[in-house]
Amino acid sequence: MSDVAPPETAAGHAITELLGGFIQELRQAGLPVSLTENLDAMEAVKHIPLEDREAFKYALAATLVKNNAHWRAFETVFEVYFSLRGSKYRLVEGDEDDMAKLLEELMAQQEEREGEGAKSGAGGGDMMTPEEIAEMLFKALQRGDDAMMRAVARQAVRRFAGMEPGRPVGGTYYLYRTLRNLDLDAVMDRLMDQARESAPEPLTPLEERLERDEIEHRVDQLKKEIEAEIRRALVADRGVEAMAKTLRKPLPEDVDFMHASREEMAALRKAIYPLTRKLAVRLARKRRHGRKGPLDFRNTVRHSLSYGGVPAEPKFKYPRPSKPEIFVIADISGSVAAFARFTLHLVYAISNQFSKVRSFVFIDGVDEVTRLFEGVEDIADAVHRVNTEADVVWVDGHSDYGHAFEVFWERWGKEIGPKTTVLILGDARNNYHASQSWVLKEIDKRARHLYWLNPEPKSYWNTGDSIVGEYAVHCDGVYECRNLRQLERFVDLLA
C-alpha cells in the first residue's frame, strides 16, 4: 500500500480480460453472477483509480456480490486472483526496508530496557531467529500496529511454515505449522500480564475482560495476515488457477453438516439465526395470504338480503390452517449430532407454525427432551443441553436404531395420532443390529406423515451398515439433508 505502482494491466483491453477470468472464477465458486452484473463491474472499474486496491475491491463487490453471506467467498477469490497483480504484492521488495527499520527500532528498545548489548544486527532480509520473531510478535500485538503485524506474519511464514515449492499440501497445513511455532496462547498470556502490570491500579474484572477481548481481536487479525501470506506464497508457487481451485470453499448454505470444520460450524451457527427468522416470516405470510376457504353458503345468502336477494357479495369460510403436530426423533450419536442440532434448532425456531412439537433423541437408548425446550427463550442453549442431559445410552453408546425405535414405540407410540407428523433424523447406520423396521410401519399407520431426513449423500445410502432403504419403504419420504439449503427447503415444505 505504501508504494503506488501503476498496475501492469493499465490498458482497458487487458482489464476486460482479467475481469472476465475473475468472474469465471466467481461462478466456479458458486456465486451467481449475471451478465448485467458483469457489465456493471466493467463499467464500475472505469471510475475507480486502479492502483487503489481497496476501492477496486469494493467496486467489484458492490456490482458482483449481492448477498452478504457470499462476501467471504468473494474475498478469497479476490485475494487469490489479484494477489500477483495488485500493488500489494510489490510490498515484498519494498517492505524489506521497513522490516529492517522495525527491527532496528526493536533492538534499540531492547537494549535500552535491558541494558545489555544487542545479540546481532540481523539484517531484515535474512531469516530471523525464533526468539526475535517472538519478541517482534509480542511488540506488534501490544501496539496493534498493522504494518508490523504484516511484517511479523511474513517472517513467521518464512521461518516456520517450511513451504516447499511444488509440494501438494493445502494452506491449512502450513497455517497449522506456523501457528504451532508461534505459540500464540503464551503470547496472549504474556500480553495480559503486561497489561496488568502497566495499569496504575489493579484491573477490575471488566477492564480485564475488555483488555482480553482487545488482545484476542488482534491475534485474530494476525492469524488472518498469516493466512493471507501463505495464500500469496502458494499462488506465487502454483499459479492463480490451481490455487483458486483448491481454495474454493462452499458457501455457508452449502456446507456439509457432517464434514464441517470447526470454523464452518461457527459460520453455520451464525447463518441459522437469519435463516430461521426469514423462514418464520415467510411461513407466517403464507398462512395469512394462503388460499381462501371454500364458499360459505349460509353466510352468502344471509348477506344477499341486503342486496335484495342477489348474492352480490360472496362470503368464504375462514380457512382453518391445520397446524401439524411434530414429533422429531433424532439420532445424536457423534457422526450426525451436528445435523440433529441444526434441525432441532430450526424446528423449534418456527415452532409457532406447529400446534405442538415434541422431540426425542437416541443413540442406542431413547429419551424425550421436549421439557428442555419448554419455556426456554434461548434455543441454542436448550439444544446444547440436549447433548449433555439426555439419557440416551443403553449399552455401549453406538447407534442402535432398532432398539431405540422399539423403546420409542413401547413408551410413546400410543401418543402418535392422525395429526402427527413424525420426523426421523439420522444416517441409519445401525452397526449391524436388528432393524426393527416394523415399528416404522406401525408409526406410519397411525401418523399423518412419516419423513426421514438423512444427512449422508445419496450415493452412500445402503452401503456398509446403512439400512436406510429398509426403513424407507415405510416412510412417506426420505430426503437427503446435507446442508442448510436442503434443510430449509424441507422445513418449508413441512409447515
Shortest reach from residue 416's CB to another protein, in Å: 33
> Which residue lies nearer to another protein by CB, 195 or 230?
195
Closer CB to another protein, residue 40 or residue 406? Answer: 40
Q: Count other Cβ atoms within 10 Å, centred on residue 308.
A: 7
- Shortest separation between residue 213's beta carbon and another protein, angstroms: 5
Residue 380 beta carbon to another protein: minimum distance, rounded to whole angstroms: 6
- Kindly state the smallest distance separating residue 75's Cβ from another protein, in Å: 12
Nearer to another protein, 119 or 209 (CB): 209
We find the least distance from the C-beta atom of residue 408 to another protein, in angstroms, to be 32
Residue type at position 303: H
Q: At what angle do helices 130-143 and 184-198 cross, to 10 degrees?
A: 50
Residues that bind another protein (CB under 8 A): 32, 34, 36-37, 40, 43-44, 47-48, 52, 54-55, 58-59, 61-63, 65-68, 71, 185, 188-189, 192, 204-206, 208-210, 212-214, 216-217, 269, 274, 277-278, 281-282, 285, 289, 377-378, 380
We find the least distance from the C-beta atom of residue 278 to another protein, in angstroms, to be 5
Q: How far is the CB of 406 from another protein (least distance, A)?
A: 38
Given the complex with another protein, which of 116 and 197 has the nearer CB atom?
A: 197
Identify which of residues 68 and 459 has a Cβ nearer to another protein in the complex: 68
Shortest distance (Å) from residue 302 CB to another protein: 28
Cα(76)–Cα(399) distance, rounded to whole angstroms? 39
Q: What residues have CB less than 8 Å from 216, skipping those under 6 apart?
A: 188
> Least distance from C-beta 275 to another protein, angstroms?
10
Nearest residue (CB) to another protein, 192 versus 472: 192
Toward another protein, which CB reaches closer, 110 or 387? Answer: 387
Strand-strand pairing, 420-425 and 325-331: parallel
* Minimal distance, residue 196 CB to another protein, in Å: 10
Tell me which residue has cell 544486527.
Answer: 121
**Distance in angstroms (rounded) separating the CA atoms of residues 114 and 278:** 60
- Which amino acid, one-letter code, is at 53? R
- Least distance in Å: CB of 161 to another protein? 24
How many angstroms separate the CA atoms of 247 and 282, rounded? Answer: 34
Do 313 and 303 touch, CB atoms closer than 8 A?
yes
**Which of 113, 289 has the CB closer to another protein?**
289
Spatial separation of the C-alpha atoms in residues 460 and 285, rounded to whole Å? 37
Using the minimum distance from each CB to another protein, give the nearer residue, 15 or 380.
380
Of the candidates 426, 423, 482, which has an alpha carbon nearest to the alpha carbon of residue 268? 482
Residues 6+ apart with CB under 8 A from 257: 268, 336, 338, 339, 342, 455, 481, 482, 483
Q: How far is the CB of 69 from another protein (least distance, A)?
A: 10
How many Å apart are CA 491 and CA 256, to the nearest integer? 17
Nearest partner of 184 among 226, 124, 231, judged by Cα: 226
